[in-house]
Amino acid sequence: MATNYSSRRQAVLQVLQSTKSHPSAESIFEQCRLLIPNISLGTVYRNLALLEERGEIIKVANVAGVDRYDATVTPHVHRICPCCGRVDDVEVSDNLRDALYKEADDKGYQSIQLTFYAKCKECEE
């Protein structure tokens, strides 16, 4: 923890690591307040930027104008519900995964962002 000394930064990271919901800064802020009541929104934004710079988290999508974050930094694929904005991790076939890596490798791409769109269960109705 030597590099995460500040209590606010720890809270931001911990909140993000403890959810699969790919939350917004605002949502992370709300969760952090339960741990540290007087934490400020600016601090959440600053630490998200800092953690992203360090490669400890990633900005995973922009849904309806709002950035969404993820503490899972290993490559993975997302599905976003165009209706409610829900973001989920999804598995893909080995075949597709291999083809993605090969493409990135062949062409010298630094990173891959693959997102599928599909209505979630709740929005199907």
Partner DNA sequence: TAATAAAATAGGAATAATTCCTAATATTTT
Partner DNA sequence: AAAATATTAGGAATTATTCCTATTTTATTA
Instruction: Kindly tell me which of 2 and 91 has the beta carbon lying closer to DNA.
Output: 2
| 24 contact choice in its own copies, DNA, none (CB below 5 to 8 Å, kind-dependent) | DNA
Question: Out of 34, 62, 89, 122, which residue is the one contacting its own copies (CB under 8 A)?
Answer: 62
- 87 makes contact with DNA (CB under 7 A): no
Other CB atoms within 10 A of residue 20 CB:
11
Query: To which H or E segment does residue 90 belong?
Result: strand 87-90
- 34 makes contact with DNA (CB under 7 A): no
User: Scanning the structure block, which residue is given the tokens 């923890």?
Assistant: 1
- 24 makes contact with DNA (CB under 7 A): yes
- 26 makes contact with its own copies (CB under 8 A): no
Taking the C-alpha atoms of residue 124 and residue 80, their distance in angstroms, rounded to an integer, is: 13
| 21-53: burial string, b at 16+ Cβ within 10 Å, e else | ebbbbebbbebbbeeeeebeeebbbebbeebee
| 73 contact choice in its own copies, DNA, none (CB below 5 to 8 Å, kind-dependent) | none
Taking the C-alpha atoms of residue 67 and residue 24, their distance in angstroms, rounded to an integer, is: 6
Q: Give the interface with DNA as residue ranges (CB under 7 A).
A: 5-9, 24-26, 36, 38-43, 45-47, 49, 62, 65-67
Question: What does the binding site for its own copies look like in residue numbers (CB under 8 A)?
Answer: 62, 65, 79, 82, 90, 92-93, 95-96, 99-100, 102-104, 106-119
